[in-house]
Structure 1
Amino acid sequence: MKNKLYKLISALFILVLFYAGNAFSQEDLTIHLMPVIPQSNYTNPAFMPSAKIHVGFPVMSSYYFGLSHSGFTYKDIVKRLPNDSLEITMDNMIDKLGKKNYLSANIMEELLSFGFKVKKNYFSFSLTEKVSFRFSYPRDLLSLVWKGNGQFVGNTADFSGIGINVIHYREYAVGYAREFTPKINVGIRLKFLQGLMNVSTKKNDISINIDGNDFAHTATTDFLINMALPEGVQDPLDTNKNTKSNFDFAKYITNMQNKGYGFDIGGSYKLNEKIAFGASLIDFGFIHWTTNVHNYSNTVESFKFDGLDINEFFNSDSTQAGGMENLADSISEIFKPVKTQNDYWASLPAKLYLTAIYSLTPHDKVGLLIRNEFFNKSIHPSLTLSYNKWFFKALSASASYSIMNRGFANIGFGL
């Protein structure tokens, strides 16, 4: 039963990788260019919605899910033959990968919100649950798994940049925006952050050189992984298999020990009746993690080892779960990470939005958005073009086209 379950999970994970490149929800890219609705204020606190007052409750408030993958797609790995049969082309898939590739997922649920206008001022409050998952992996990693280490004999396999960042936190935000002149709006949102769970790869520079003569493996490592887990949850890297989890959900969601602070800031400028610009910095902040903390690090100039048997994972005589445990134990034995339990600070994945809007008519606008997300010491840009139509004061629609994650088939709609 367990073996079937792990096979199902593996299949679902591969399907996610296949389709994630086009499955990413473009909500934050689309609504940003609809400044009259309350949710656009979340991506630029200077935007003031047209309604004088708005209130959001659980279930009836905003909910957002986004999934993105910058690596391979279904067409890169599955080829349809002339006889309509399908062929798996792993080599082609690996060739399509970038040097570094990213898989990410985001969930945001607005639990409570309200906002109101007083003359030229706009005040707002929101309580939001946020979950973010980001995994980065190098091309050499999948190439090693599929083709083996023979391709790297006499060369170096570069695994730098591999990492995982998972964060679950609750955001309490108070916002203020003001129309200083008919042309200039400025807004800011201050946030208190309640950290609930975090896994953060602070640094990860790993490479393995395979000597062309004696095939000796020489590894160079410099990594640091921080974890702040819910109380009662077992450390996944703990080699003590006798440790049991005792997770308490009520304690988890009410934990106030991991505190953080952040802010959003933005502005808009109306050049004339036709052209307007906007800029904003969103989710700039940090959380101090102190609950059930584990740190794993290894800073070694270089060391030699006999190699790693990937077949331990694919061994058909054992379950995939057992194979994964064997492989994890082998990696742990080779790299021998040092474990500590020190509190740490971790930043949020900040985003920078730059916009330009052109009014075709009072009810028709086109927009351009450049969005940059900062993650894993890299900038991840996207470009969005949109068309927005106002039918009447309470109803508007938007259609958008985006270029992101090395993909060109990203379409979004908003109403």
Structure 2
Amino acid sequence: MKRTIKYILAACLAVSSLNVFAQGLRSAYFLDGFVYRHEMNPAFMGERNYVAIPIFGQINIGAQSNVGLSNFIFKYNNPPYSATTFMHPSVDSKQFLGSLHKQNTINMNLSMPIISFGFHKWGGFNTFGLNLRVNENNNLPYDLFAFLKNGQTASEVTEYHLKDMTVRANAYVEMALGHSREIDDKLTVGGKLKFLFGGANANVYLSKADITLSDKEWMIQMEGEGDLSLKGATLGTKATDVNGETRHKIDDFDVNGPGLGGFGMAVDLGATYKMDDFVEGLTLSAAVLDLGFISWNHTVGGINDGKVPFKFEGFNNIQVKDDGIDDGSKSLDDQLDDLSDDLEKMVQFYDKGTYKRTTALNATLNIGGEYILPYYKNLSFGFLSSTHFNKPFTWTEGRFYANVAPIKWFDASVNYGISTYGSSFGWVLNFHPKGFNFFIGSDHMIFKVNPQFIPINNLNANVSLGFNVTFGNGPKCCAKK
């Protein structure tokens, strides 16, 4: 718990390195030579057979958030040190809090192919993938940062009311079998069947936490629950009297013999349709991804019904260090340790036993349209609408494309997206001569970074690259032109 809280704080301060995020490189959605198009729509057929170089077939690095470095790091006029964190007393509280949202989200995900290949056979295009999938979502309310920054502001009583604070993480391996085929010269359909092997799943949700600060004591009355699905997970508890009832307060966590924690299944479904009878050169496509679930065999959890408040002692020894000045203050890492220790004390759960549970995957809906210019068929324009369902972290995006394929073995795209997390510029270069496929691109190009290459504004950044071996030729049906 402490380590998780510390990582969340580090992400909020944007001083940790970026994690990985992507459900495929969306910038390459309309490129025929991109071997992983089938991950965004299982109806897309490959130009050639391919085999991925393990791990390096497709690497996506990035993050997604509605906050960034500029929300937590501020200019500080104390040469030669020019920046400090939001906790420093020189940072105006109204300036800091005015830059935040009611709910501040940070999403970090990983999708990495361990084994991936595709081939033309049995009247269509077939794919196999063994992929590692990890995702983490954090929803941090405004009042949490107001509490951290301001603490007790009145001589008598100060109150904070936190709502809908969520920390969610999921890790599993998927084995995906895909097939796509032409129904006629206009309609192509495809699907994937996925077998899911669960590693771990965690969900902590605080529906509310009312914090009352006075000169005498600090009290917290919280309501929420947490679930951890992980083989071998055990909780340490301490018997506590709560209004005459003996309850077991969670105060420790351990793992004995981790392994396969759950099993599940999912499907991807997709289709494309050429609209030449109505508008020559227009192709529509649609897909729904990750419709499925994982059943977890072993889950431990805690709950707090919010009926009994508890005393909180924390945030008394957190000092901010002007970098490079030895004045007895604490380093940033020590500050994060102190913050995580105290935030851990804020969350008090009582053991609710061991049980089984089932969780749904986070589905994605892609709807696209591409128009090939009749007088220059190597140039096309497109639009892709993507919606990722993951309440309260659901996001939508609309992306406009210009795609070009000047020669047979090279194509490229530039695109502009508008989403829940702001606007972004994307691009991709895709080389696909006979024998190999190499691509590099980004859905969220970074224009302003600090010396550590962390985005200054919203923490939306992504770069994707990969190398794959290709061979053979697909049927003429798979060519767009």
Return the match for 1:271 from 246, 271, 275: 275
User: Displacement of 1:99 after TM fit?
Assistant: 1.3
SS of residue paired to 1:389 = strand
User: Displacement of 1:33 after TM fit?
Assistant: 2.9
Q: Please, which runs of 5 or more residues in structure 2 have no aligned partner?
A: 85-90, 238-248, 321-328, 431-481
Aligned residues: 394
Q: How far apart are the structure 2 equivalents of 1:68 and 1:133?
A: 11
Higher Cα Rg, which structure: 2
Question: Is 2:63 the partner of 1:63?
Answer: no
Indicate the percent of aligned positions where both proteins have the same amino acid: 20
Change (3 A) 1:181 1:160: farther
SS of residue paired to 2:25 = helix
Return the match for 1:310 from 298, 306, 315: 315
Whether the aligned pair in 2 keeps the contact of 1:298 and 1:337 (CA below 8 Å) is yes
Question: Which residue of the partner structure matches residue 251 of structure 2?
Answer: 239
CA-to-partner distance for each residue in 1:372-404, whole Å, 9 max, x for gaps? 111234521122222221133332112222223
SS of residue paired to 2:201 = strand
> 4+ runs of 1 displaced by more than 6 Å?
8-11, 17-21, 23-26, 153-156, 232-237, 315-318
Question: Is 2:194 the partner of 1:179?
Answer: no
Q: How far apart are the structure 2 equivalents of 1:146 and 1:290?
A: 41
Change (3 A) 1:297 1:314: farther
SS of residue paired to 1:74 = helix
* Larger RCO, structures 1/2 (Cα 8 Å, 6+ apart): 2
| Within-5 A mapping of 1:2-401 | 13=11, 16=14, 28-51=25-48, 53-74=49-70, 77-79=73-75, 86=82, 88=84, 89=91, 91=93, 92-118=95-121, 121-150=124-153, 157-201=160-204, 203-208=205-210, 210=212, 219=221, 221=223, 223-229=224-230, 231=232, 238-240=250-252, 252=258, 255-272=259-276, 273-291=280-298, 293-300=299-306, 302-305=307-310, 309-311=314-316, 323=338, 326-327=341-342, 330-332=345-347, 335-360=348-373, 361-401=376-416
Whether the aligned pair in 1 keeps the contact of 2:399 and 2:416 (CA below 8 Å) is yes
Change (3 A) 1:367 1:14: same
Residue identity opposite 1:62 in structure 2: Q
Residue identity opposite 1:41 in structure 2: H
The TM-score, its normalising length taken from structure 1, stands at: 0.79
Q: Please, which runs of 5 or more residues in structure 1 have no aligned partner?
A: none
Whether the aligned pair in 2 keeps the contact of 1:400 and 1:413 (CA below 8 Å) is no
Residue identity opposite 2:342 in structure 1: L
SS of residue paired to 1:403 = strand
Which stretch shifts more, 83-92 or 126-135? 83-92
User: Displacement of 1:265 after TM fit?
Assistant: 0.9
Change (3 A) 1:395 1:337: same
CA-to-partner distance for each residue in 1:94-142, whole Å, 9 max, x for gaps? 2222211211112222121222224752222111111112111111111
Change (3 A) 1:154 1:408: farther
Whether the aligned pair in 1 keeps the contact of 2:23 and 2:111 (CA below 8 Å) is no
CA-to-partner distance for each residue in 1:132-177, whole Å, 9 max, x for gaps? 12111111111111122548x9897442221112111111111121
Whether the aligned pair in 1 keeps the contact of 2:23 and 2:40 (CA below 8 Å) is no
Q: Greater helix percent: which structure?
A: 1
Question: Is 2:398 the partner of 1:402?
Answer: no
Whether the aligned pair in 2 keeps the contact of 1:69 and 1:405 (CA below 8 Å) is no
User: Displacement of 1:36 after TM fit?
Assistant: 4.2
Whether the aligned pair in 1 keeps the contact of 2:24 and 2:39 (CA below 8 Å) is no
Residue identity opposite 1:239 in structure 2: D
SS of residue paired to 1:239 = strand
Q: How far apart are the structure 2 equivalents of 1:363 and 1:317?
A: 59
Q: How far apart are the structure 1 equivalents of 2:415 and 2:255?
A: 46
Whether the aligned pair in 1 keeps the contact of 2:250 and 2:349 (CA below 8 Å) is no
Whether the aligned pair in 2 keeps the contact of 1:138 and 1:158 (CA below 8 Å) is no
CA-to-partner distance for each residue in 1:53-98, whole Å, 9 max, x for gaps? 22224144222233112124427743487x9974554643422222
Whether the aligned pair in 1 keeps the contact of 2:32 and 2:46 (CA below 8 Å) is yes
Q: How far apart are the structure 1 equivalents of 2:71 and 2:254?
A: 43
